[in-house]
Every structure is written in C-alpha cells, then in structure tokens.
Amino acid sequence: MVIFKHRTLLALMMTLVSLLAFTSNAFAANLWAVVKSNQVTQAEVFQLRLIFDEKVDADAIDFKPLEANFFLGQPSFASSLNFTNGKRSSSSEWTIALKAKSLGQLTIPAFEIEGSYSQPIEMTVNADTDLPKQNDLVEIQSQLSRSTLYPDQSAELTTRLIFKADLRRLQNPNFIAPTALNNSPGLSVTEQGKAKQTTQVINGVEVTVFEQRFLVTAEQAGHYTLNSLGFSATLVHGSNRTGSTKLIPINIAPEAFPLEVKAKPQGFGKQWIPTPSLDLTQRWLDADGNVLSTVSKDKNNSELKVTVGDSITRELTLTVEGLAPERFPQFIVNYPSAIRQYAEKPQYTQLADGNFKMTVKQVLIAQKSGQYVLPNIDLEWWNTASDRKVVTSLNALSLTIEPNELSAAPAVVTPPSLPTHSVVVEYDRGYWPYLTALFALLWITTLSWYIKTRLGRQKEAPHLSSAEHDTTKTILIAIERQDAPRIQHLIGVWLAERECQDSPLIDKIKTELEAMNNHIYGGGDSVWSNAQLIKLIKQLAKQTPMKKQQPSQLAKL
C-alpha cells in the first residue's frame, strides 16, 4: 500500500514538471529575421528586418557578425506597446541596410535575444549586368602645359572633373590632390585659386564640370612622375525596372605624367630666371600718376626736368611665362644720393593665359638741384626655348633737378652806399661849414635813434616773422594733404634754417616721417595719423628761432 502511494506521487510530480515546461515554451517571446528576397546582386542594397515580440532596448542586438560578408548601413530601431480588448502586446524592430562584399552564397547568421533565436538566412549574390560604366558617371581630364623644365621653372596642370550623374546621389566623395610620385622633393605642386564650377553640354548630355589649375614647380634636376587628380566616391543608383537601390563604387586613378628637369647652366648666380618668354617695360609717372613726357637724347637715354621737392615714379612691369610669383626677381637700383627712393610692394596679377605679371613702383624724390643719371636696368634670363642666355635692358634717364623758391639760397640785400663828395679846400669858408656840421649832427642823431628803436622792438617781440610763419603754414598744409614728397623737402629746408640741430624733437620728427612714408609707399599695411607730426612741428616752431643772417659788409665811408 505504501509502495503504491509513492509511485502515484512520483507520476504526479513528473506530470506537473512536463506541464510547466510546456507552459513556459508556449509563452516564450519570438525573434524573426526577414529580407525581401534572398536573391540579390553585388551592387544591390537590401534591408534586413529583425522583429522581437517584446519591448527591449536598442542595443539588445549586436550587428558585428554581419561585417564579415556585408557592408552595413546605420541601423534604425523602433518599439511599441499596445492594448487591444484588454490584452497587452509589445514589439521591438530593427532595420539595417546591407550590401554584399562578394559574389556567391553568403549567410546572414542567427541572432539571439533573451534566449530566443532567429533563423539564419542563405543569400545568393549574383553579378550585376545592367549597371552603367564608370566613365558614363564621372570622368577626369588632365593636361600638363610642358614636360621639360629647368629648376625654378613652372608648368601648369589643368584638371577637369566631369560629373555626368546627379551630384546629389554621390556619397563619401574623396579627392586625391596632384603630387609627385613618392612625394619627391624635386617637384612642388600648389593650387592656383579656387575650382571653377560650370554647367556644360557634352554629346547632348548636361554635365557639371569642376576645373582646377595647379602650378608644378621644379626644385632640382632629375626625372620625375607627376600624378594628376584622382577621385573616389559611391553613387546611389536606382533601377526603375526592379525598384531596387544599388551602390556603384567609383575609383578613378590619377593619370601619370613623366617630367624631366634639366640641370641649371653654369654661370648664373641667384638671379636665375628660366622662361621661354619674358617682357620688361617701364614708365615714368608724376605725383598724380600721369605719364611724363621724356626727351630722347639717344636710343639708350632720355632726359627729364623736375624741381627740388618734386616726386617721380619709375613703374616697372615684368611678365614672365611659367614662373611662380615667389620666383620673380627683385629690382635693386642704386640711385644718386640726391634722390630719395621709396619702393612700394610688388603687385602680382595672373593673366588669362595663366602667366603672372609683376608691377613695381619706385617713388623717387628730388632732394638737391643738379644734373643726375637714373641708371638703366639690365635683366639677365635664360631662354628655355632656345637654350641661351638673354639680357633685357631698360634705358637710363638723365634728370635735371632745378631749384625752387624755397630751396634757393636767400639773396643778400646790400643797402645802397652813401654818396661820395669831392673835398674842396677853401680858405675863406664863411658860415657854411658850421651849418653843414649842424645838419650832419642832427642827421646822425636821428639815425641813431631809429636804429635803437628798431632793435628794441625786435627784442620785445620774438614772434615768428612773416616769412617763417608762411613756411610753417605751408608745411602744415602739406601734412594735412599727406603730400609726402613736398613734406620731406619743406621740412628739410625748414630745419636747415633753424637753430635746432640738438633739439630732441628732431629725432621724433624723423621717426614720424619714416612712419608716414611706410604708410604711403608701403602698400597701406601700416597705420599712421598726421596729428603727432603736426604737434611736433608746432612745438619746434615755438621753441627754436630762425638762424641769424650774417650782416652784410657796408661800404666803408
């Protein structure tokens, strides 16, 4: 009886365990993996959906196992909680875009969430037969202006990137800039301006063209390879026939250009200009920028007349084919000491043909009257077209500097000499000698009184004379107008006429003059105000008198 009871209890317990296991399996959550089709092409992008019928976090799924066979997009996640007829239901769903890495049979592995597993999916990846060719989508055209250079000489590389597809469908575009093979230091490549975007029609198709110019400069002799522009991207391509989306990889390798750099010829110093074409001209301008008319003395020299204080400008224009701006020469001219020079910063302009033009202005201020020669300029360069040395020259200028009214020495005013009288000896003089002596005494007394009165007034009134006042006023007007050449001349004459050689104000005035010249002739980079110079001129005018003129020698009586 006891044995029967134990057997009945054991059977009851086993039935209860089986029932609990069945109930647990019946209420377990499910996980499904779903694709639209398991037949795809290599370029095709398809969607994988994972559905779990419970609400969980977004990071409950790890997609890393897919990376072995597929390119992955950014997954999206959504969860929901619903109540229908009093019953509660929830779900979580992930969607991710995939693209096969290779052809053949690929497997989407099973995924697991909280003990629930999805079924693996076998994918068949076929080759694409209806995709457009790469050249039908994007094309690069490159052109190098010359394949032989000398050190410091440049060639122009023109690249045209032609987009025949919709630019909005490009993903991850990557440009490979032109460079020398293996980054050789024998060549340097720099961009010239910004890329130009235009819309053109080629073979009846509207395309977008990006044109960019590069300057390829030779640094040292040798044989090199220049890699032109390269490009890579991914194009999103939609098929109207199948309704699918495909990703087309675009990889355009750079075009290779062989380049020879010849050795520099012997006999050239630092002033080395290699070019097939060079043009050097000059103009003489007045202070207002007007072209001056020079008188030709001979074929190598011209003549010009100016006045002390006047300024003229020697404008030099140099155009060189195939030379970068930083390789242009400097014009250093030794002018006579009577002429002060201020050289402005060179201005560079890129012409329509890609070459550069340099303009240099040398402002020359006449300081001292006389006859001078502004020297000629000889520019030595190497003609790469004919492989020979050439010298281009600019003519000298004979300059006559005439004095003006301020620079001319003041004339010495000599008072008229007293009239001379013959002395006649008379023995019978009568009263006339006494009357003559009386009138002479009165005349001398009057003259003495006038001289003392005049000198007394000069001592009591040490204010500026009218001539000095006019000169100071002229200087201040020139400073207000920022007429640098006239300011330099007037202040030089004005200081020479004053007893102020040891005044500390002179150094301050010279400093202000240098700051003014840097501001006017230095391209406008510096900041300068004329207020301080005006203040210093007024202070010096009050503190220091004019030099006393040497008294003239009166004719002896």
Q: What is the tens place of the pLDDT at every residue in 201-221?
A: 888 889 999 999 999 999 999
Domain check: are 302 and 331 in the same one? yes
List residues bridging with 191 in a β-sheet. Answer: 214
Nearest to 228 by CA among 250, 251, 188, 257: 257
Residue with tokens 């003059």, as numbered in its chain: 513
Domain check: are 118 and 154 in the same one? no
Residue 430 in domain = no
Domain check: are 288 and 391 in the same one? yes
What is the structure's pLDDT at 473? 82
What is the structure's pLDDT at 426? 33
Terminal Cα distance for the chain, rounded = 182
Mean pLDDT across the chain, nearest whole number?
Answer: 79
Cα Rg of the chain, angstroms: 49
- At 437-473, the pLDDT tens digits run 554 555 555 555 555 555 444 444 344 455 555 678 8
Residue 444 in domain = no
Domain check: are 45 and 155 in the same one? no
pLDDT at 6 over 50: no
Most confident of 5-14, 227-236, 512-521: 227-236
Domain end point (choices 126, 156, 173) = 126
Go through 106-129 and write b for each residue having 16 or more CB atoms within 10 A of its CB, e for each that does not: bebeebebeeeebeeeebebeeee
- At 105-153, the pLDDT tens digits run 999 999 998 888 999 999 999 888 777 888 889 999 999 999 999 999 9
pLDDT at 281 over 90: yes
Residues 402 and 307: beta-carbon distance below 8 Å: yes
What is the structure's pLDDT at 114? 86
Decide: helix, strand or coil at residue 39. strand
Residue 20: band (very low, low, confident or very high) from pLDDT cuts 50, 70, 90: very low
Domain end point (choices 261, 283, 308) = 261
Residue 393 sits at φ, ψ, to 5 deg, of: -120, 150
Domain check: are 118 and 174 in the same one? no
DSSP category for residue 308: T
How far is Cα 100 from Cα 106, in angstroms, rounded to an integer?
8
How far is Cα 546 from Cα 533, in angstroms, rounded to an integer?
20
Residue 4 in domain = no
Domain check: are 186 and 119 in the same one? no
What is the structure's pLDDT at 417? 35
Q: What residues contact 118, with CB distance under 8 A and at least 6 apart?
A: 31, 32, 33, 50, 110, 111, 112
What is the structure's pLDDT at 556? 37
Domain end point (choices 106, 126, 146) = 126
Q: Which domain holds residue 37?
A: 31-126
Burial class (CB in 10 A: 0-12, 13-18, 19+), 335: middle
Tally of domains in the chain: 4
- At 412-428, the pLDDT tens digits run 333 333 333 332 323 33
Decide: helix, strand or coil at residue 318. strand
- At 143-182, the pLDDT tens digits run 999 999 999 999 999 999 999 988 888 888 999 999 999 8
Residue 7: band (very low, low, confident or very high) from pLDDT cuts 50, 70, 90: low
What is the structure's pLDDT at 156? 93
pLDDT at 304 over 60: yes
Stretch among 186-195, 372-381, 415-424 having the lowest mean pLDDT: 415-424
How far is Cα 48 from Cα 44, in angstroms, rounded to an integer?
13
Residue 529: band (very low, low, confident or very high) from pLDDT cuts 50, 70, 90: confident
Q: What residues contact 224, with CB distance under 8 A and at least 6 apart?
A: 180, 181, 184, 186, 187, 258, 259, 260, 261
Domain check: are 220 and 296 in the same one? no
Most confident of 48-62, 492-506, 522-536: 48-62
- At 66-96, the pLDDT tens digits run 998 998 888 999 988 777 676 777 888 999 9
Residue 52 in domain = yes
Residue 289 in domain = yes
Domain check: are 52 and 69 in the same one? yes
Residue 292 in domain = yes
- What the block records as the tokens of 197 is 């975007």
Nearest to 477 by CA among 515, 405, 534, 528: 534
Domain check: are 370 and 291 in the same one? yes
Q: What residues contact 378, with CB distance under 8 A and at least 6 apart?
A: 391, 392, 393
Domain check: are 160 and 252 in the same one? yes
Residue 523: band (very low, low, confident or very high) from pLDDT cuts 50, 70, 90: low
Residue 356: band (very low, low, confident or very high) from pLDDT cuts 50, 70, 90: very high
How far is Cα 48 from Cα 70, in angstroms, rounded to an integer?
11
What is the structure's pLDDT at 412? 34
How far is Cα 146 from Cα 160, in angstroms, rounded to an integer?
18
Residue 13 in domain = no
Domain check: are 315 and 227 in the same one? no
What is the structure's pLDDT at 257? 96
Stretch among 96-100, 220-224, 377-381, 526-530 having the lowest mean pLDDT: 526-530
Mean pLDDT on 27-33: 78
Q: Return the amino acid letter for 180.
A: A
The CATH number of residue 117's host domain is 2.60.40
Residue 447 in domain = no
Q: What residues contact 492, with CB distance under 8 A and at least 6 apart?
A: 367
What is the structure's pLDDT at 413? 35
What is the structure's pLDDT at 552? 39
Residue 249: band (very low, low, confident or very high) from pLDDT cuts 50, 70, 90: confident
Residue 18: band (very low, low, confident or very high) from pLDDT cuts 50, 70, 90: very low
What is the structure's pLDDT at 502? 64
What is the structure's pLDDT at 427? 32
Residue 553: band (very low, low, confident or very high) from pLDDT cuts 50, 70, 90: very low
- What the block records as the tokens of 472 is 């100071």
What is the structure's pLDDT at 37? 86
Domain check: are 256 and 285 in the same one? no
Tally Cβ neighbours within 10 Å of residue 417: 10
Mean pLDDT on 491-507: 75
